[in-house]
A and B are shown apart, each in its own frame.
Chain A
Amino acid sequence: MPVIEVKNLTKQYGRNGVTALDGLDLDINEGEIFGVIGPNGAGKTTLVKILLALIRPTHGDAKVFGQSPGKPSTREKIGFLPEDAKFPSFLTGEKVLRYYGGLAGYHGRNLRTEIDRTLSMLELDSWRKHKVKNYSRGMQQKLGICQALLGEPRLLFLDEPTSGIDPVSRRKIRDMIAGLKERGITVMINSHNLTEIEKLCDRVAIVKEGKIVRLGTMSQLTSLKHRIRFNQITEKLEEVLTDCIGTFIIEDKNCITIDVENQDALNEAIDKIRELKINILEISPRQTLEDIYIQAVGDNEVAQ
């Protein structure tokens, strides 16, 4: 059963106002790391807000764990890191977690264990007794992730999780999120950092004007198209490519575009070409998520 089920979800702000979501359909499965990307105002945050019952949809239905997201019993299984999380500056990191852990229903030894676990996971142990006002932006972000992870939620909403975080910590957070997947935790990430989404997510939705314009696994979205440049395209080469790939496009007298299903198929094709002693001058990288994103949302949006 999907952890998140969204059917024909529409959200309009004001009577005749802006349509933030426009008949959106989406299922997210258990243990999946799902990325939502799109330009500002595309409806990403509105989607998360509906899934957390912070706002109500105008039409359509959203279910989390098969239940209404407004129920406290549903939200017990959810951790959330908002984009601009602000913590009380007069509290220490540990007390912040005590407060949010308390609101999530944890207390006593359980809460202490959870606080220790999350602080060490995000390497904030040594800062636990320091007041939040002395934390850097990145450390506050880590603290935000700690509070979202309290109690090992089954579903995690992360809005720009690595914003303001240094590259080394960013990598650690990425590894940590990948580790969550191994424990069967579902993660939904909203981010503008496409590289991060590409590295982390099993599936990605590109949202534009409240609609999903692309949805699929990374390999489905970024089809493994490669441009291979040779000295010369011979008949023998065409025969080999027809045998091992099927269809290909000859772009000019020394450039061919091949579309392979996966990395193995690409290697196989290269091996066969090399057996013929044909020089490969260049293999261009496959399409990146950024290429797909730019195609999907349009250059104007990207420029914004």
Chain B
Amino acid sequence: MKTLAMIKYTLYQHLHGIGFFILLMIFGLIFVVFGIGLSVEKTLTGEKVTFFGQDMFRNMENMDPLMAEMGSEQPAIIIQFSFVMAATALWGPLFFILIASRVVESMLTQGNRYLLLSKPMHRWHIFLSRIAGFMLFSAIVVLTFLGALWLIIGIKTGCFIYQPFIAIPVILLIYLSLLSIITLVTVVIENFFVAAGITVAFYFITTVLGQLGDLFAENSSLYFGWSVLHTVLPRIAELSNAVTRLYLNRQSEWLTPVFATLLFSGVVLAAATFLFSRKEY
């Protein structure tokens, strides 16, 4: 019951922030664009899916080689939608973390934290209930977003594909890794702006780092340094690519990035929980 009360409150806090309002605006815009732009036209040879009048098969050769390769095998709408998927997987967690940063900070503001910490709960219980609230919020938002898009596309094209939902666990995993960083930094330095800044920087560094491996000659010291960081840090870029490949029914190595990211998030969250439990307020 205590956990539920904390989760419920965390959801309330998210829903009343300016970040959620902006999120709704972006969602609304995407839904309108898909709702208006997507259409199925009858042709002599059958039906043609268009997006704002553009034949989606015709443009396939201008797309990413992977997409073009898939073009002949997959319904066009799936391929088109994969861009939204990749963008959601890559940018969604970052946006969520910016919304979350204010909520994380509010937990530790004086006047609020004394009320919170004087309640009959272990500190780790308070902390992890909060994390559960954050995760639940992002799960609901991602599910609503992808679900609504799935519905719009399904109604418009008659193609009710299940693949968009593959992205949900990956988005949540990337979000968890960022959440662990922002909570750890906030617990240590108690400054919302710095914590948000460090987390965003961490996100970009990790994403870029994941794509740099081919640049270094094997056995070089740079490659060694890179591989150490690559092993330790979350695999955001790899996860995002894996989502796109799985979405397109292609083979993908997803187990290692999932495990590495989970391990990283677990260790950082454990450290944040420990510090929160021991810290004097």
Contacts and interface: CB of A to CB of B under 8 A. Distances in A.
Partners in one complex: yes
A147 B6 CA distance: 16
Contacts of B121: 72, 103
A50 B111 CA distance: 16
Interface in A34-83: 49, 52, 54-56, 72-76, 78, 80, 82
Interface string B104-137: 0010011110111111111000000000000000
B151 to A, nearest CB: 30
Contact of A86 (B4, B16, B112, B280): B112
Interface in A134-152: 147
A99 B2 CA distance: 9
Contact of A85 (B5, B12, B111): B111
A70 to B, nearest CB: 9
Nearest to A91: B12
Given A86-B112, A107-B1, A54 B119 contact: no
Most interface-central of B1, B2, B120 (chain A CB within 10 A) = B120
B162 interface: no
B13 interface: yes
Contact of B117 (A54, A88, A91): A54
A88 B13 contact: yes
Contact of A105 (B1, B111, B112, B116): B1
A84 B110 contact: yes
B111 A86 contact: yes
Contacts of A91: 12
Contacts of B12: 88, 90-91, 95
B111 A72 contact: no
A190 to B, nearest CB: 13
Given A55-B280, A56-B280, A105-B2, A100 B110 contact: no
A105 B121 CA distance: 9
Nearest to B1: A107
Interface string A82-114: 101111101100010011111111110000000
A76 to B, nearest CB: 4
B192 to A, nearest CB: 15
Interface size, A (range):
20 to 34
Nearest to B125: A72
B135 to A, nearest CB: 19
A102 B6 CA distance: 8
Contact of A80 (B109, B115, B281): B115
Contacts of A88: 9, 12-13, 16, 106, 112
B116 A54 contact: no
B114 A103 contact: no
B111 A103 contact: no
A75 B8 contact: no
Contact of B120 (A73, A82, A99): A73
A74 B119 CA distance: 10
Contacts of A56: 280
A75 B119 CA distance: 6
Contacts of A105: 1-2, 120
Contacts of B1: 102, 105-107
Given A49-B281, A147-B115, 11 more contacts: A54-B114, A75-B118, A85-B115, A87-B115, A90-B13, A91-B12, A99-B5, A100-B119, A102-B5, A102-B8, A105-B2
Interface of A: 49, 52, 54-56, 72-76, 78, 80, 82, 84-88, 90-91, 95, 98-107, 147
Interface of B: 1-2, 4-6, 8-9, 12-13, 16, 106, 109-112, 114-122, 280-281
The 5 closest A-B CB pairs, nearest first, are A102-B5, A86-B111, A72-B120, A90-B16, A55-B280
19 contacts: A54-B118, A54-B280, A54-B281, A55-B280, A56-B280, A75-B118, A78-B118, A84-B111, A87-B112, A88-B13, A98-B5, A102-B2, A103-B2, A103-B5, A103-B6, A103-B116, A103-B119, A103-B120, A107-B1
